[in-house]
Amino acid sequence: MDLDFFSKSIVIGLTEHAPLVLAAIGFALLYRLTGLINVAYSETITLGAYFGMWFNTTYDLNFYTVLLPAGIVAGLISVGTYFAVFRPAKKLNVGALEMIIISFGLSIVLRHALQFVFGYPVRFFEVPPPVSIRVLGVGVGAFRILAVASVAAVSLALYYFIQRTSFGLQIRALASDEDLAQASGIRPLFVTVLIWFIAGVAGGMAGAFYGVSSSVAPLLGWRQFLFIFLVVVVGGRKGLGGVIITGALTGIALAAMTLQFGQVLYAQLALIVAFVALLKWRSKRSIETVKV
Amino acid sequence: MNLNWLDAFLISGLFSVVVIIGLALLLHLQLGLTRIANFGVVGFFGIGMYSFGVLFTKVDWPFGDLPAFLVSLAFGTLVAGLSGLLVGWLIADLDEDGVLVGTLGFATVVFILATTEQDLTGGALGLGGLKFPYDVGTVKADEFLWLIIVIIVVTLIFLYVWWVHRTPYGRLLIATGANEPLARSLGKATFRTKLWLFAVGSAGMGMIGALFGVMERFLAPENLGIDVTLAAMVALVIGGTARAWGAVIGGFLIFGFFDIIVQSYIPFPKAWYGQAIPNAKLIVEGLVLMGVLLFRPLGILGAMRRDKLMRRVHG
């Protein structure tokens, strides 16, 4: 195997799958900090793509301008789902398993409701053909470079926000002990809303990146959900840093296997098998302490 | 056979309702009793359907249609059962997120294989050449007979579920679902129980998939969408996850309404049937799932039969 293969895998993996890392960060925030497996997160991604496309085509704005608004709308919708569904569910003491199924139901509702709003046909961003830039001898579209840069910027900002600011401290306090956090004067509602908003913005921006590099369709987010979830479940134990690294490695692995097998589906297949095997292996190692 | 009294839409509508009820009954054992959320129902359904279809259509059978069909059906069921065993082994000691990853991952793997293995499955174009293992005259009569056969199969599944509710095995499933460490500390082999449960449940789902494939006559990866899993889950949840009758009542209530009444008896504008109604149906399914689990988690039928019995006896 030559050097060319490695550099290609790394460049394609990081640029093409950068949105995966961004989406995984958002999902991980919810998963780690509120303990919720939110299947409807895939629709946050899809809606980010749809709103980006809609701003882009309706107001004739370029992609760089619509990126943040698309993220903000997705963030607001994410907060909306918290108030409409997840907060009431928590108050009603719904179990963890039921919560997953409820979020699955919400995901279906959003996915099909958006088709009544945006129509059934597949839609596209109206952008000029991206300028190709050569990185390590591999041609890469400008949007993908932007995606990598945004992912890096957002990741760093989030990391700083959660690890270094007082809001971040409040978020972590709330995640580890809600009662104690409340007793020490943290307003749980404000902090929780903040988490949902940031997660939604990350998901929405990821969606816009997915949408601009291919097409905007109702299944856009759902097709990525399993991989996002795998990255977060496998990498999430080591905090946000673990998620970012696992996401990046996953992207590179997907690119390398796609080059090797000549088909992206085989790469996805191998990835699913590898990750599930990894989870199984990890549970086998830890199980003796948990077992009664 | 004179079947003029029977509407062709009614046959296909009833057929899809019965298929969903069959899947929901098997899901009931996993989700309702043992509390394992199997999000991969469509994976087992699909692997049974394709294993059956590939063997049935690709092999040059030396004997008649019926034996070929039975052998292929057994093969499809077996493959689904073995994959259930594998998936069961993978997820039996994982928590909710592991179960979600494992089952959803399996369904995705089946979808990918159905798409990529073009020599066997026809890929995205699909696999044709399936037919009923008999010929009783008209297409309608063939389909009607097939509906009867599938109703018999699903009734047998129902009787199995009903029987499980009344046996020590059923109580073991309930105990495993309610408190696994406790069940294990009492000497119950919960891991093996889950394996067996997944193997049998998946085999059943695979068999239903094969029977569904015959009626469909044409297998395509579009048949393997998440809406199959959703349908089984919705039917079960609205009827009652904890009760054997839940899947039956829920299936008739929601899919009887959409696949029979809306499809054949309400005169909506023709144009709506293409995309608007299927889309609205899925929205309703999602809303039902959320609404029921939020406000009446045990569905229409409510608590388990024996819980009610206990309350009556002990006050």
A56/A62 Cα distance (integer angstroms): 6
Alpha helices in B122-189 (DSSP H): 139-165, 168-178, 180-185
**Mean pLDDT, residues A22-27:** 92
Question: Where do we find the tokens 């796609």?
Answer: A258
A185/B66 Cα distance (integer angstroms): 73
Residue in A with minimal Cα distance to B35: A97
First to last CA, chain B: 56
Radius of gyration of chain B, Cα coordinates, nearest whole angstrom:
20
- Three-state DSSP class for A91? helix
Alpha helices in A178-219 (DSSP H): 178-183, 188-213
- CB A105 to CB B226 under 8 A? no
B154/B152 Cα distance (integer angstroms): 6
**Mean pLDDT, residues B171-187:** 90
Q: Which of B276, B192, B208, B275 is nearest to B247 (CA)?
A: B208
H or E segment to which residue A132 belongs: strand A132-135
CA atoms within 13 A on the CB side of B306: 10
Of how many residues is chain A composed? 292
Residues of B with CB under 8 A from a CB of A: 35, 37, 39, 90, 93-94, 96-98, 100-102, 104-105, 108-109, 112-113, 115-116, 181-182, 184-185, 226, 230, 233, 237, 275-276, 279-280, 282-283, 285-290, 293-295, 297
Q: Which residues pair with A133 in a beta bridge?
A: A140
- CB A276 to CB B113 under 8 A? no
- The pLDDT tens digits of the residues spanning A156-211 come to 887 888 888 888 888 888 877 778 887 887 888 888 898 899 999 999 999 998 99
A95, A102, A113 ranked by CB distance to B290: nearest: A102
- The pLDDT tens digits of the residues spanning A42-83 come to 999 999 999 999 998 888 888 888 989 999 999 999 999 999
Please give the single-letter amino acid code of residue A32: R
Please state the pTM of the whole predicted model.
Answer: 0.92
Domains and CATH numbers, chain B: 10-314 (1.10.3470)
Other CB atoms within 10 Å distance of the CB of residue A288 = 7
- CB B275 to CB A115 under 8 A? yes
- The pLDDT tens digits of the residues spanning A252-275 come to 998 888 888 878 888 888 889 888
- The pLDDT tens digits of the residues spanning B9-46 come to 889 899 999 999 999 999 999 998 999 999 999 999 99
Per-residue pLDDT at A290: 46
